[in-house]
Structure 1
Amino acid sequence: MASKPQALSISATTMALKGVRIFLNAGRAAAERRVHIAPVSKEKRPKSVVPGSRPPQKVFDSLVKSTRFNKNELEALFVMYKKLVTAAQSTAPPAAIGQPAAKVDGIDQGTFRDVMHNTFDLVTEETILERVWVTWERGPNGGEGALKFEAWVRGLSILLKGTDEERTAHCFAVYDLNSDGFITRDEMFLLLKNALLKQPGDEDPDEGVRDLVELVLKKLDVDKDGSVSLDDYRQAVEQEPLLLEAFGQCLPTRRQATAFLKTLNTNNKS
């Protein structure tokens, strides 16, 4: 009984990862109680919108081609975007004492977090949520400033209507903490440790986390070079879909995505 098997079956890995998800879901439930998530309702949406002109029609035409939203959905998303920017502006701190708040030209990180929490039920570890924010397009080099309308739509297209390939690439980018194209043992350790440390009663979970890292690495590291490339990750997820969010939730549930899209289209018709 003391010896370890030379290889782990997919079913054994699945059972172990289900154990990881129990830990993560327990942390998620606790976080939900802390943030007091409220359902999205028309009554609570701000009535004012951002002043200024809408993007040129060619922007909408381009987004119809490059995303999975139709024209009506894009119009509804633009209305939502303007309201979110208004909310960001209303909470922005003043640029200096006695001066008005600095203009927020897009969706800021705090507003983005609120949307992920309240609208898409993405109650996850702060490291994961930070990484989700970083991976969305902002600025010419990415990761800069507020989230503009086009980037907002492209990101939502992946989260809500993305193909398996797009969802896989999104999760990989979130887990690749230093954005070097590989998920290493150290990154896996940090991701799992951040999740497990939130559980009460765990004094020193490091040893257990290391065991989980080795377990998951055996399934993800297809070419056995000690780290996980996107190609490794893609092949592993194709064989075992549970591995897609092995290190924490970074996608809305299908239920939340469907509910949001239904609301989007309902509001569009009203």
Structure 2
Amino acid sequence: MEQRAVKKLVESISKTVKSFKKNEIECLVRLYYSLVGKASGKLANARMDCNTFRGILHNIFGMTDDALMNRVFFVFDKDSDNHVNVQEWVNGLAVFLRGTFEEKMKFCFEVYYLTGDGYISREKIFDMLKNSLSQQSPEDENDEGIKELVDLSLKKMDYDNDGKISFADFEKAVTKDRLLLEAFGPCLPDAKICLHFEALIFRNNVTTTI
């Protein structure tokens, strides 16, 4: 991608993304086109599909939960066109790498509810916990045991006792106990991985060796 086009893109993105310096945004833009270019074979109108994105979550950020990786993709994909464009890529990484606690809280909630109704339902909690536990232990999980965990989660987080968790419920619970931020499965990268990623990309301007 030619330098002039990159600079124009960086200027545009920097107006809305304040957690990165312009040179850092440029590194992320170049990384994006490097990764998408490898996947598509060409840079013109390049867009990142779900498989490429999941590969990045797995290989760079150490994520392993298939269902959660799909959900993270859909949260990055703000315009719901089944691709992550370069603006969505930088926006999402701004939360991943340097998001405030409030931004990360909103991100996790979006990952967890993702049904359009703005609530995390009992059924959704059951599915997420079952999936998360099966990732950790290949044996068949006891559904009764998972139901107990669901009840415990609702008891801790469902402040208005309506059988589902709203963002207001989630915010209260997570503010009170930050360990609940990823209560239904890891959807944010580990802090050490973020530091390693930043060191690799920003300090060395690496865009092709990941």
| 1: CA distance, partners of 2:45 / 2:133 | 36
Aligned position for 1:71:
22
| 2: CA distance, partners of 1:114 / 1:201 | 26
User: Aligned residues, how many?
Assistant: 203
Matches within 5 A, 1:154-173: 154-173=91-110
| TM-aligned CA deviation for residue 135 of structure 1 | 1.1
Q: Secondary structure at the match of 1:268?
A: coil
| 2: CA distance, partners of 1:53 / 1:190 | 47
- Tell me the alpha carbon deviations over residues 106-152 of structure 1, each in whole angstroms, 9 at most, x when there is no partner: 111111111111111122x21111111111135xxx22132111111
| TM-aligned CA deviation for residue 197 of structure 1 | 3.2
Q: Secondary structure at the match of 2:126?
A: helix
| 2: CA distance, partners of 1:62 / 1:53 | 13
Instruction: State yes or no: 1:126 paired with 2:66.
Output: yes
Aligned 8 A contact 1:136 1:155 in 2:
yes
| TM-aligned CA deviation for residue 70 of structure 1 | 0.4
Residue 200 of structure 1, aligned match among 100, 113, 138: 138
Aligned position for 1:135:
75
Q: Show structure 1 runs of 5+ residues with no match.
A: 1-49, 91-100
Residue 60 of structure 1, aligned match among 4, 7, 10: 10
| 2: CA distance, partners of 1:210 / 1:255 | 33
**What letter matches 1:146 in structure 2?**
H
| TM-aligned CA deviation for residue 62 of structure 1 | 4.0
TM-score, structure 2 as length reference: 0.88
* Residues 81 and 201 (structure 1), Cα distance of their counterparts in 2 relative to 1, 3 Å cut: closer
RMSD after superposition: 2.2
**What letter matches 1:200 in structure 2?**
P
| 2: CA distance, partners of 1:89 / 1:104 | 10
Residue 87 of structure 1, aligned match among 38, 45, 66: 38
- Tell me the alpha carbon deviations over residues 150-188 of structure 1, each in whole angstroms, 9 at most, x when there is no partner: 111001001110011110011101110413100010000
**What letter matches 1:249 in structure 2?**
P
| 1: CA distance, partners of 2:89 / 2:55 | 14
| 1: CA distance, partners of 2:132 / 2:47 | 30
Q: Among the aligned pairs, what percent are the same residue?
A: 37
| TM-aligned CA deviation for residue 223 of structure 1 | 1.9
| TM-aligned CA deviation for residue 242 of structure 1 | 0.9
Q: Secondary structure at the match of 2:192?
A: helix
Aligned position for 2:200:
263
**What letter matches 1:212 in structure 2?**
L
Aligned 8 A contact 1:104 1:146 in 2:
no
- Tell me the alpha carbon deviations over residues 38-75 of structure 1, each in whole angstroms, 9 at most, x when there is no partner: xxxxxxxxxxxx58972562x42343242211011011
Q: Show structure 2 runs of 5+ residues with no match.
A: none
Instruction: State yes or no: 1:153 paired with 2:90.
Output: yes
Instruction: State yes or no: 1:183 paired with 2:139.
Output: no
Computing the radius of gyration from Cα coordinates, the structure with the larger value is: 1
* Residues 53 and 71 (structure 1), Cα distance of their counterparts in 2 relative to 1, 3 Å cut: closer
- Tell me the alpha carbon deviations over residues 188-245 of structure 1, each in whole angstroms, 9 at most, x when there is no partner: 001011122342333x511000000000111111222211111110110011111111
Q: Secondary structure at the match of 1:228?
A: strand
Instruction: State yes or no: 1:245 paired with 2:186.
Output: no
Aligned 8 A contact 1:177 1:187 in 2:
no
Aligned 8 A contact 1:105 1:146 in 2:
no
